[in-house]
Amino acid sequence: MSSVIRLLPDHVANQIAAGEVVQRPASVVKELLENAVDAGATAIKLVIKDAGKTLIQVIDNGKGMNEIDARMCFERHATSKISIAEDLFQLQTKGFRGEALASIAAIAHVELKSKEHTAELGTHVVIEGSKIISQEIAVVPSGTSFSVKNLFFNIPARRNFLKSDQVELRHVIDEFERVALAHPAIQFTCINNGSELFNVPASNIRQRIVNVFGTKTNEKLVPVQETTEIVEIHGFVAKPEFAKKSRGEQFFFVNDRFIKSGYLHHAVTAAFEGLLKDGTHPSYFLYLTLPPNSIDINIHPTKTEIKFDDEQALYAILRATIKHSLGQFNVAPVLDFQKDSDLDVPYSYEGTKSVEPTVEVDAFYNPFESMKASNTMAQQIGAGFNPFESVKPKPSGTSFSGTNSFQDKKQHRSGGWETLYEGISDAKELILTSANHQIDEEVITGSLFDEETPQAANHQQTYQFQKKYIISPIKSGMIIIDQRKAHQRILYEHYVHALAVKQNASQQLLFPLSLYYTAYELELLRNIEPQLVQMGFLFEELTNEKIVILGIPVSITESEVSIVLEDLLNDLQDDVPSDHSVLNDRIAKSLALSLAIKTGTYLTEKEQEHIVNSLFGCTDPQTSPFGKTTFITMKVEDIDKKFM
């Protein structure tokens, strides 16, 4: 009986290993960048073409390789990172399995140029499908340059599984950002199809985050710092008001290695509990330093998952640290039962006696002095003095006698109080008459509350129920319309028509609107710029950091522009269709979803009627763009049955 178990050829084994290591161009970028970091490089340059499908080149100024190492690095399980099994638990470097370069060389055309700093000449190696085509001495710069061309050239099935260039570029940029954020002391440059996407100099962590994600990121960051016996945590979290609808800006680094951990992510979201809006996710850049023997990295082929010795303690420390930082920088409300430091006595006043304050009193101050004049007037009025008497003409030859005045006062004090207001009405009439004033009486016409006529009461044809549904009577009964889904259908068909005819009204902005985005988001906006222009957007410039908008569609307000574009980028970040009709459909759906009226919005009678009329003017009024029912019909017979 012949044996059925045999050893696989090296090229077959390498292709199998490539299936684990190299899933897409981004996998090659990750391996080459990490090798450049391990080589001690201070400047690393990444050059890609067609999102890495045609070319991936990584150039570094590291220590380089000699002629033997340049050949050995392409052998399976060949590495300089470890030598014994115990080294797996004391790892200080990135790649250590020794399968990356062998796997890459098995499915692509690889060209290596490397030279040590102390050597005069370097080595040039060319490999195609695990076969060494040539190896020769050459004049090359110090460091190492890897060029990977025609990825999956000998495995067409794997190449067909690759996504569009925009999607693959997104994955490449993700890997580039992870390595660049993990090593802020290294300068990184990224060039795609001849245009520079990133050029981040060596800096601290905060500046590196700002250089990668844009200048506006600086105002969003809240520092996080904590040192314990278990772990040392430092980094930044974004303020709650800057939370995004996607999970793009979420980074964990353990010993300068990017990892993914749902358990630690839950600790971060627990620290933001009660501070985030529904459907939004916090952004964070957290660096954890642990003893190498307390973690196990070798549990996943891509090394993005790590096993911790004490996950529960790490969870508690991380959650408490973030909550403390949010409270310390007045981002989140906290309860502080400690005494206020502003109430403490300064050291310079300790031991001194308090000085009794002195009060100066004016012994001659009379608060009633200013009231003499008013009291005198009151006494005169009480004595029968008429302030309007001066306007009356006095008879000639008469004079006032002090004695008579005194007798009048005495008489009024004794009981002539009924003459107190004598002459006032006569003086009022005299003044009004002399000024020729006339008092017009206001004629009251109408009623405070207008009575609604029967015709006006019967005019309303639609009714809003629970600020969610619109009820409209019809001949056979009534229809109940979901206002949000109906508005989605109306907007969707409007934008589809606008993209089809390539003409849409645009309103000019009085002041240009500047919006800031990441490098990939700006690249995505450049790809869909023709469609946005057809919608009514007018762009002045799209630089490497921001866009300047001069005009927007008539149906969009200026405050909604950033929300609409953010939702559009989130919908297209996973896949950008190459077919223009499919892309137009995706854009129209995204805009309709973002701009449709929300559930709970009050609508006036005219707005209700507009939605009803516009809905039944659509080509497909029964369903929303996402296949949901927009309205239902209830007949009178069905309603009558409920009362039987």
Rounded to an integer, the average pLDDT of 353-359 is 75
d(CA 21, CA 160): 18
Q: Does residue 370 register a pLDDT over 70?
A: no
Q: Does residue 206 register a pLDDT over 60?
A: yes
Region for residue 562 given its phi and psi (left: phi exceeds 0; alpha: psi -120 to 50; beta: otherwise): alpha
Q: Burial of 21 by CB count in 10 Å (0-12 exposed, 13-18 middle, 19+ buried)?
A: buried
Rounded to an integer, the average pLDDT of 229-251 is 89
Rounded to an integer, the average pLDDT of 560-578 is 83
d(CA 459, CA 44): 73
Give percent above pLDDT 70 in the chain.
Answer: 76
Which residues in 106-200 belong to E strands, given as ranges? 109-115, 122-128, 131-138, 143-149, 187-192, 195-200
Which residues in 168-322 belong to E strands, given as ranges? 187-192, 195-200, 221-227, 232-238, 250-254, 258-259, 284-289, 295-296, 307-308
d(CA 148, CA 95): 18
The pair of three-digit structure tokens given for residue 620, joined into one six-digit string: 């497909």
Q: How does residue 448 score in pLDDT terms, banded at 50, 70 and 90?
A: very low
Contact 25, 37 (CB under 8 A): no
Consecutive H or E run containing 30: helix 25-38
Q: How does residue 534 score in pLDDT terms, banded at 50, 70 and 90?
A: confident
Residue with tokens 């099935």: 157
474 Cβ contact list (under 8 Å, min separation 6): 633
- Which residue from 502, 521, 488, 506 is spatially nearest to 589, judged by alpha carbons? 488
d(CA 535, CA 539): 12
Rounded to an integer, the average pLDDT of 12-29 is 76
Rounded to an integer, the average pLDDT of 366-385 is 59
β-strand partners of 44 = 60, 188
- Tally of CB atoms within 10 A around 495: 27
Q: Does residue 123 register a pLDDT over 90?
A: yes
Q: How does residue 437 score in pLDDT terms, banded at 50, 70 and 90?
A: very low
Residue 391 pLDDT: 45
Q: Does residue 101 register a pLDDT over 50?
A: yes
Q: Does residue 354 register a pLDDT over 80?
A: no
Residue 244 is given by DSSP the state B
The pair of three-digit structure tokens given for residue 133, joined into one six-digit string: 């085509």
Residue 535 pLDDT: 84
Residue 517 pLDDT: 85
Which residues in 311-451 belong to E strands, given as ranges? none
Rounded to an integer, the average pLDDT of 615-637 is 92
Alpha-carbon dihedral angle through residues 75, 77, 81, 84, given to the nearest 10 degrees: -140
140-185 confidence digits (pLDDT tens): 999 999 999 999 888 888 888 888 888 899 899 999 999 999 999 9
Residue with tokens 């005019």: 459
Q: How does residue 19 score in pLDDT terms, banded at 50, 70 and 90?
A: low
Question: CA end-to-end span of the chain, whole Å?
Answer: 84
Residue 455 pLDDT: 44
Residue 208 pLDDT: 94
d(CA 302, CA 94): 10
Least confidently predicted of 9-23, 445-459, 574-588: 445-459
The pair of three-digit structure tokens given for residue 581, joined into one six-digit string: 């009709």
d(CA 596, CA 594): 6
Q: How does residue 403 score in pLDDT terms, banded at 50, 70 and 90?
A: very low
Least confidently predicted of 142-146, 296-300, 396-400: 396-400
Q: Does residue 234 register a pLDDT over 60?
A: yes
Collapse the DSSP code of 389 into the 3-class scheme (helix H, G, I; strand E, B; otherwise coil) and give the result: helix
pTM (2 d.p.): 0.70
597 Cβ contact list (under 8 Å, min separation 6): 483, 484, 487, 603
d(CA 224, CA 327): 11
Least confidently predicted of 160-164, 181-185, 446-450, 596-600: 446-450
Residue 449 pLDDT: 42
39-53, 391-405, 559-573: which is most confident: 39-53
Residue with tokens 């408490």: 320
Full set of structural domains in the chain with CATH: 10-200 (3.30.565.10), 213-328 (3.30.230.10), 463-634 (3.30.1370.100)
Q: Does residue 33 register a pLDDT over 90?
A: yes
Residue predicted with more confidence, 389 or 567:
567
Output the DSSP codes for 288-306.
EE--GGGEE-TTSTTS---
Residue 581 pLDDT: 85
Rounded to an integer, the average pLDDT of 21-43 is 90
d(CA 409, CA 575): 103
Name the average pLDDT for the chain. Answer: 80
d(CA 550, CA 527): 19
Contact 625, 589 (CB under 8 A): yes
- Report the half-sphere exposure of 235 (CA within 13 A, side-chain side): 26
β-strand partners of 84 = none
Q: Does residue 408 register a pLDDT over 80?
A: no
Please, what is the Cα angle at 509 between 505 and 512, to 5 degrees?
130
Residue predicted with more confidence, 137 or 523:
137
Consecutive H or E run containing 171: helix 165-182
71-85, 119-133, 529-543: which is most confident: 119-133
The pair of three-digit structure tokens given for residue 425, joined into one six-digit string: 């009405």
Q: Does residue 249 register a pLDDT over 80?
A: yes
d(CA 218, CA 201): 16
Rounded to an integer, the average pLDDT of 30-55 is 92
Contact 286, 253 (CB under 8 A): yes
Rounded to an integer, the average pLDDT of 528-551 is 84
Residue predicted with more confidence, 263 or 360:
263
Contact 78, 98 (CB under 8 A): yes
Contact 31, 104 (CB under 8 A): yes
Q: How does residue 299 score in pLDDT terms, banded at 50, 70 and 90?
A: low
Residue 390 pLDDT: 44
HEC states along 558-616?
A: HHHHHHHHHHHHHHHCCCCCCCHHHHHHHHHHHHHHHHCCCCCCCCCHHHHHHHHHHHC
Least confidently predicted of 150-164, 274-288, 296-310, 564-578: 296-310
Rounded to an integer, the average pLDDT of 219-246 is 91
Residue predicted with more confidence, 183 or 497:
183
HEC states along 327-363?
A: HHCCCCCCCCCCCCHHHCCCHHHCCCCCCCCCCCCCC
Q: Does residue 457 register a pLDDT over 50?
A: no
Rounded to an integer, the average pLDDT of 101-119 is 90
Please, what is the Cα angle at 21 between 15 and 27, to 5 degrees?
120
The pair of three-digit structure tokens given for residue 53, joined into one six-digit string: 């499908």
Residue 421 pLDDT: 56
Residue 642 pLDDT: 85
d(CA 123, CA 139): 8
Q: Does residue 624 register a pLDDT over 90?
A: yes
281 Cβ contact list (under 8 Å, min separation 6): 243, 244, 245, 246, 247, 250, 269
Rounded to an integer, the average pLDDT of 525-548 is 83
